[in-house]
């Protein structure tokens, strides 16, 4: 059963190797070595938010080497999309009425 044992060792090695890249280069960020990746961080997007009425969307990235993060805006705020005005109180002979509208 030599082959089976070899496969077991081989698979263990492959599994360990698969776990390496994230930690193998820790502290070796290209940002500290301009000969690699033009001296730039290697960004990996870790989260994103959609734009809303009042704020633009954002994309947060993290460097795979040094864990530095950055957040960038994408596009711009959508602006409110108002409904039509609705009469909430009818005007009378002596009082002004009121009206309202909502976004979304
Ligand atoms: Zn970095
Ligand atoms: Zn709105």
7 in any annotated domain: no
Q: CB under 8 Å to 40, separation ≥6 — which residues?
A: 30, 31
Q: Is 3 a domain residue?
A: no
Q: What is the pTM of this model?
A: 0.56
- Which ligand is nearest to the Cα of residue 55, counting in written order? 2
CA 65 to chain centre: 18
Question: What's the gap in Å between 101 CA and the centre of ligand 1?
Answer: 48
pLDDT value for 35: 87
Q: How many structural domains comprise the chain?
A: 1
Q: Could you tell me if residue 9 is inside a domain? A: no
Residue 14 placed within a domain: no
Instruction: Output the tens digit of pLDDT for each of the chain's 104 residues.
Output: 565 665 565 555 555 555 544 454 456 899 988 888 899 999 999 999 999 999 999 999 999 999 999 999 999 999 999 999 999 999 999 999 999 999 98
Check if the beta carbon of residue 74 is closer than 8 Å to that of residue 56: yes
* Calpha distance 67→44 (Å, rounded): 10
Query: Residue 79 falls within a domain, yes or no?
Result: yes
Q: Which domain holds residue 76?
A: 22-100
């Amino acid at each position: 059963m030599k082959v089976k044992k070899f496969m077991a060792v081989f698979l263990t090695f492959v599994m360990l190797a698969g776990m390496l890249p994230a930690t193998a280069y820790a502290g070796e960020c290209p940002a500290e070595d301009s000969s690699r990746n033009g001296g730039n961080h290697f960004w990996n997007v870790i989260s994103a938010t959609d734009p809303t009425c009042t704020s633009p969307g954002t994309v947060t990235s993290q460097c795979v080497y040094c864990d530095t993060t950055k957040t960038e805006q994408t596009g711009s705020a959508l602006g409110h999309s108002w409904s039509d005005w609705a009469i909430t109180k009818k005007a009378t002979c002596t009082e002004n009425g009121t009206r309202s509208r909502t976004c979304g």
